[in-house]
Chain A
Amino acid sequence: CGFHLREPVALPFSSIYIGLPVTSPLAAELKRQIRSTSPAQISDTRQSAQVVLEVLSEKRDKQILSLNSQGRVREYKLIYDFSFRVRTPDGKELMDTVNIQLSRTLTFNEAQVRAKEAEEALLFRDMQNDLVQQVLRRLSVLKPEA
């Protein structure tokens, strides 16, 4: 029915600078995925890179999704909101600002709050992996000028 195994897609640039703090877990995962799937280099400074990924916002939010009849939270909606754009080191736009918003549902019970903390971390990690894949897909169709 037309399906074929995904072909290797090389990222269309030779080097990239990722504008996130070194300690950011998202940056670590992004760099790891870029290194493992493509020959593109990760630059340590903006100026030495061919393209620059600029992070405009990275927000994690937790909103109440449902309450029980006692007015207590029974479900939270976890939201990971990420905006970025890609430019050249001298500021030329290569891609419009991209906003990716992911969400997951976390059931909640006061009696299990310690376990729910761990589960929240698991869901945010899951969203982070999903996010990295979506960012890479956006990067793979980039058209940096020669």
Chain B
Amino acid sequence: QSQEQAKQATPAPATFAEDIAQRRSSAANPVKPEPPLEVTALKVWGRTDRFVHFEKEVEMTRGDLRLKADKATYRFLEDEAEAEGQVSLTRNGDCYDGDRVRVQLERRTGFVENPVYRLIRNHAQGQAKRIDFLDEERSVVHQGTYSTCQGVSPDWYLKTETLQLDTGLDTGTASRSVLYFKDTPILVAPSITFPLSSARHSGFLPPVTGATSKGGVEFGLPYYWNIAPNRDVTLYPKIISRRGLQLGAEARYLGEQYRGESTLEGIVGDRQTSTNRYALTSLHEQYLMPDLKLSWNLNMASDDNYPTDFSNSITKTSVRLLPRDLQLSYGGSFWNASFQASGYQVLQDVNAPITRPYDRLPQLQLHAEQLDVGGFDMSVDTMLTRFWHPDLVRGDRAVVAANLSLPFVRSGYFIKPQVSVHATNYHLVNPSAKQDADAHRVVPIFSLDSGLVFERDTRLFGRDFTQTLEPRLYYVNIPYRDQSRLPNFDSAPADFNFAQIFTENRFVGQDRIGDANQVTTALVSRYLENDGSERLKLAVGQRFYFNHQRVTLDNAPSPSRSDLLLAATGRWSSTLSGDLAFQLSQSNRRAIQTSYSVQWQPEAKKVLNLGYRFQRDSLEQVDISGQWPLADRLYGVGRVNYSLMDKRVVDGIAGLEYKADCWSLRFVAQRFATSTTTSNTGFSLQLELTGLARLGVGGNPLEALKRNIAGYQSVSER
């Protein structure tokens, strides 16, 4: 009973490391009262204070140590039990059935000969020539096997010379071992470390084998190093047959005031290019003071082709601009400020060159606002930027924008008149013939936003809903200013969507302020469930122009359009959800932009996605993806993203996943476009043995599946 009380008094360990320390100290604690030894047997004899000999149906118990045998002897002086014939030993919940056992009851040391063992954690099992118990937590398995499969003939097992098990550190370390899969040796390893429970642990991750059209055969064996609960490193060496050995490392860290992750990978002496190649990414966020934050996002590659040559993932190869950003920001009570330096590394494709974006070296921003001062909301935004470019016009730009609005908000309606002044000053270093070295522009802006909210109770799909009806009217007036002599550092026409139609400027960025005398109307209807959640949202919006727009960008004519927007999004039923968006040009009655997507997820690990996307003169694609059980334990996964315009598969992935009780096998083949003329083709194969290696991060087929197939769930997830 006293032990139970002691257990309750011990607080739950906060971290894994603490847990170990706590258990180590309690094991070493000599004052722990030793429970009495209890023995039952059919036949007993012995000498007082020397030994007792037991025979037939012997059962010895001391605490959680239990010994069953045909014959056993207990020696008082050594506090030792020795047993023979059909011996079964239970120790810390783990079971050992063997021929002969000797164990010191209090010190928990001893050995068992020719045992078959089962460990309580991880449900691991195996057999051995001999197991030595070093103390309560550590033991050594000699010439044994280890597997997390159940039954007498495991699908996979590890055959080891010695295997050290440490339940305190939660690790198994196998020396000189051979891994058998279906009784075939597949891997010889001088040393393997693996966790004894499902806790996060250092160790090898499932190896990935495969081949790509560019690199040839590949073999990667990632190693996960769990330094502390809030810090880890994954090393991912990879042999690429046509290139050489690529090394990579990913580090992650998390603290009270900071967090970040960095990846560095590279290859010394690529055999294809005879150069050293590398790539680096680093993300970091840190609070230097409660209100002062430092952050960076740095990305770098040794050459233009690094991602297309080395990445098996389209998420890497499709990105041609690598951002480099450093930011210091301060957030005060009614104002915030930031200092930022940013640029991009451009990975050029000779067939489709990219104009390098401007670097901002640096940009200073100040935002201040005061709300509800006598009913008025006020804000001021200031932005000072030095734009740098090796070839184009360089210069400094200062922007000050002040807003004053008088919002009148009630539950059923709102009216929000707003006046703003947008003032900009340019100082150009190398103006072109059409530009002045110094230019400035002041634009007053008036807008009036208003809306009503109606509600009613209704039924849909046999359920009660609250349906809202929200008409909205938004008027903007911006007088014309000639901006044809101003440079374009960071502006572009904005996408036409429901967020944009309720903003003042039809351009994004600060270099163009579009003249406007326009009204936007929209009608939104929502279906709300009783718990307040939004089930369905239908929206229609249109903008009407009262005059012809004159402000243009890069001398492209500004189309005088008043397109119609339609959107519907929501969950149609518990398994079916969908998204529809449609933009129709009112001038020629043609679709400008269309997208439909439907997801059907009848149950876990069963999903189908269907999508169609269209952008006039730029994109028309069909996208089908899904995960579906093909047979018991066998799942098919796939995605086809087909460009109707180019009659070409932009991104295709097909895979098979098999999930057995103690292992899973994953095969993934991929083909994706990397430039106008080239595609990457490749496949990868991954065998995951449960309990031997934890699921990996980065660069594995699982990541490709998760990225490509919305709603995908790994078969090995429990």
Contact = CB atoms under 8 A, between A and B. Distances in A.
A64 B314 CA distance: 9
Interface residues of A, number: 53
Contact of B619 (A74, A113, A137): A74
A36 B453 CA distance: 16
Contact of A115 (B320, B509, B528): B509
Contacts of B38: none
Interface stretch (B234-242, B417-425, B494-502, B555-563): B494-502
Nearest to B456: A2
B503 interface: yes
Q: Which of B336, B412, B457, B672 has the most CB of A within 10 A?
A: B412
B456 A114 contact: no
A68 B619 contact: yes
Contacts of B293: 23
Contacts, number: 168
Nearest to B512: A115
A115 B456 contact: no
Chain A interface, >50% SS class: mixed
Contact of B320 (A36, A72, A105, A141): A72
Q: Which of A5, A65, A114 has the most CB of B within 10 A?
A: A114
Contact of B354 (A32, A111, A117, A137): A111
A68 B509 contact: no
Given A106-B495, A107-B495, A75 B613 contact: yes
B619 A7 contact: no
Contacts of A72: 318, 320, 352
A70 B35 CA distance: 74
A138 B532 contact: yes
Contacts of B275: none
A138 B529 CA distance: 10
B201 to A, nearest CB: 24
Interface residues of B, number: 78
Q: Which of A1, A134, A137, A141 has the most CB of B within 10 A?
A: A137
Contact of B533 (A3, A74, A138): A138
Contacts of B530: 141
A118 B508 contact: yes
A8 interface: yes
A113 B349 CA distance: 17
Nearest to A5: B412
Nearest to B491: A115
Interface stretch (B24-32, B263-271, B640-648): B640-648
Interface stretch (B427-435, B600-608, B673-681, B685-693): B673-681
B331 A66 contact: no
B449 to A, nearest CB: 12
Give me the 4 closest cross-chain CB pairs, A-B, nearest first: A115-B492, A5-B412, A114-B490, A126-B499
11 contacts: A2-B457, A5-B454, A6-B411, A64-B314, A68-B643, A70-B351, A71-B674, A110-B321, A116-B508, A137-B528, A139-B532
